[in-house]
């Protein structure tokens, strides 16, 4: 046995002696009994890193997994940061229905009360936007949401918000991480623990729903048939109630996916963007003759929309299409303020805002950047995240977005039109903005870094037959954007490509956009065909450039 093996076994045994969870203790004991394994080595190869997305990873024993020891230390680090910065007020804690979410939430509450910080737990597994709402509703110093959002069943996560109700950004993440590291230097048993805090009543949920229902025109049309799926997450109850309380017919739920289930048994991957994830919803919609399908991800902060096509069948709208529809709807109804999206979202939003004389801001990827903008009227990111009520929820909210989409569908239906008709109107005004994504999932994270370095060393000179007119390395930042790990290419034909590692999954992502001007309605179909052709060519060329 090598010295490295002896050191690994010593680390594992020390962890085993401290772990308060009988399940992960048994898991780790079994690995130790089996001897040195790659799995054991990976669990102790490093520490799950706390960043602007908080923590997220596979459940299991060891510092490189999500477990009670990691969560207790994260909570202790957050508590120390709040004490150090002089923050006042309670910490609100929410959780979804994933494995151990309730346990991690309770542990967090006990750590907070252990150092004299009031802990307020949401009454049951609830969507992430309810937590974001409750932070401001309760005058909290911070909030914690235990969720892995749309990650696979074996994952869980720990998302942190500060008192303004938005997710953390630098330098807060770095400072909290430093406090977590300090808390990790000693035994976990040294972390003070108090009681489980106060469990909030359902009145906080009622206030959230009451606010959502005020977003729609009380005198507008209400006739629309909607099918809803929660993808085994926690969004079904609130989504159905919110839409009904806003005066629309209650959506027809996909029964097989309506109840929370941490195993997500009917989907290969609980993300509405993934192929097959909303197939049951589309089948139900065809069966009942629905006007649209709404799908929330498991923690209901994202909202997917599918519509019947003019020919036959159904298609899911891209996140950029839903963003354009919501922005257009808000602009038409006089919502004044800043319109914002991330750099990987379509450039269309800037044109829409300018047409109505409203300011536009482009941010880094992630709602932590969008939600904190002053004077925000609407923000979105292409990954199905929409903020339609930023004064009370400074984060993406799949419930309020769903209510707004249903309102728009009903309004258009009353005049004999559809969401697709409105997208045509937008394209005729601003041109066809076609977007797509190339996403490469890896098991070895080093491959992502190697691919980015190859692109930095040798930038493509042409893509899809068009010259690359500029290649920006975003690690240095720009005049309007902080530094980030990404590359942006502008092409001579107006196309754009952005390459960046995912912040939450082991993926390298390429975001593609093609813009085709449209000279009148007769040319719209041809413009869309040409846009599809160029997108396909861009995707092929980028796949080769990545070398993965």
Residues annotated as catalytic are 149
Question: Based on the number of CB atoms within 10 Å of its own CB, is 65 exposed (0-12), middle (13-18) or buried (19 or more)?
Answer: buried
11 touches 32 (CB < 8 A): no
The SS3 call for residue 48 is coil
| C-alpha to C-alpha distance for 466 and 57, rounded to whole angstroms | 40
Instruction: Calculate the CA dihedral of residues 311, 315, 318, 323 and round it to 10 degrees.
Output: 70
Distance between alpha carbon 140 and the CA centroid of its chain, in Å?
22
What sign has the CA pseudo-torsion 98, 100, 104, 107? positive
Structure tokens at 517: 């001007």
| C-alpha to C-alpha distance for 443 and 440, rounded to whole angstroms | 10
Q: Give the DSSP per-residue string, 223-279.
A: ---EEEE-TTSS-HHHHHHHHHHTTSPPPEE-HHHHS--TT-TT-SSS-TTSTTTTH
Q: How many CB atoms lie within 10 A of CB 203?
A: 10
| Residue 547: closest CA among 473, 437, 464, 438 | 438
Question: Based on the number of CB atoms within 10 Å of its own CB, is 525 exposed (0-12), middle (13-18) or buried (19 or more)?
Answer: exposed
């Amino acid at each position: 046995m090598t010295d490295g093996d002896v050191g690994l076994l010593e680390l594992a045994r020390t962890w085993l002696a401290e772990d308060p969870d009988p399940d992960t203790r048994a898991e780790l004991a079994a690995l130790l009994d089996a001897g040195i394994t790659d799995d054991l080595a990976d669990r102790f190869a490093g520490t799950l890193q706390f960043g602007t997305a908080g923590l997220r990873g596979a459940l299991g024993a060891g510092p490189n997994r999500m477990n009670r020891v990691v969560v207790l230390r994260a909570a202790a680090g957050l508590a120390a940061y709040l004490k150090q910065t002089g923050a006042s007020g309670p910490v609100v804690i929410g959780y979804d229905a994933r494995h151990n979410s309730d346990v991690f939430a309770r542990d967090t509450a006990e750590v907070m009360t252990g150092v004299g910080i009031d802990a307020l737990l949401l009454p049951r597994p609830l969507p992430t936007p309810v937590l974001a709402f409750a932070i401001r509703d309760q005058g909290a110093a911070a909030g914690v949401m235990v969720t892995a959002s749309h990650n696979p069943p074996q994952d869980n996560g720990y998302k942190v918000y500060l008192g303004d109700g938005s997710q953390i950004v630098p330098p807060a993440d770095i400072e909290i991480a430093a406090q977590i590291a300090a808390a990790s230097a000693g035994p976990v048993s040294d972390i003070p623990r108090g009681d489980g805090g106060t469990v909030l009543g359902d009145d906080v949920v009622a206030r959230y729903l009451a606010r959502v229902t005020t977003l729609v025109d009380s005198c507008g049309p209400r006739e629309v048939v909607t099918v809803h799926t929660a993808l085994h997450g926690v969004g079904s109850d609130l989504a159905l109630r919110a839409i009904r309380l806003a005066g629309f017919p209650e959506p027809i739920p996909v029964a097989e996916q309506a109840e929370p289930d941490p195993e997500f048994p009917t989907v290969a991957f609980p993300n509405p963007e993934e192929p097959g994830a909303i197939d049951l919803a589309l089948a139900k919609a065809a069966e009942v003759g629905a006007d649209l399908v709404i799908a929330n991800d498991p923690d209901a902060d994202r909202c997917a929309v599918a519509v019947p096509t003019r020919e036959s069948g159904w298609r899911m709208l891209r996140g950029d299409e839903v963003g354009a529809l919501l922005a257009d709807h808000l602009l038409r109804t006089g919502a004044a303020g800043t319109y914002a999206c991330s750099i990987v979202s379509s450039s269309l939003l800037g044109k829409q805002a300018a047409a109505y004389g409203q300011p536009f801001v482009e941010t880094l990827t992630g709602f932590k950047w969008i939600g904190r903008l002053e004077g925000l009227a609407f923000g979105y990111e292409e990954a199905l995240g929409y903020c339609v009520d930023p004064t009370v929820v400074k984060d993406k909210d799949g419930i309020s977005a769903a209510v707004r989409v249903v309102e728009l569908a009903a309004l258009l239906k009353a005049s004999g039109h559809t969401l697709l008709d409105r997208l045509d109107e937008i394209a005729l005004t601003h041109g066809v903005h076609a977007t797509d994504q190339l996403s490469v999932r890896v098991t070895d994270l080093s491959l992502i870094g190697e691919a980015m370095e190859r692109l930095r060393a040798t930038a493509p000179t042409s893509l899809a037959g068009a010259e690359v007119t500029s290649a920006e390395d975003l690690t240095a930042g720009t005049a309007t954007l902080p530094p980030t790990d990404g590359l942006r290419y502008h092409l001579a034909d107006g196309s754009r490509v952005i390459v960046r590692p995912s912040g939450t999954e082991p993926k390298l992502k390429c975001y593609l956009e093609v813009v085709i001007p449209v000279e009148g309605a007769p040319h719209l179909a041809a413009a869309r065909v040409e846009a599809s052709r160029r997108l396909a060519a861009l995707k092929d060329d980028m796949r080769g450039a990545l070398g993965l």
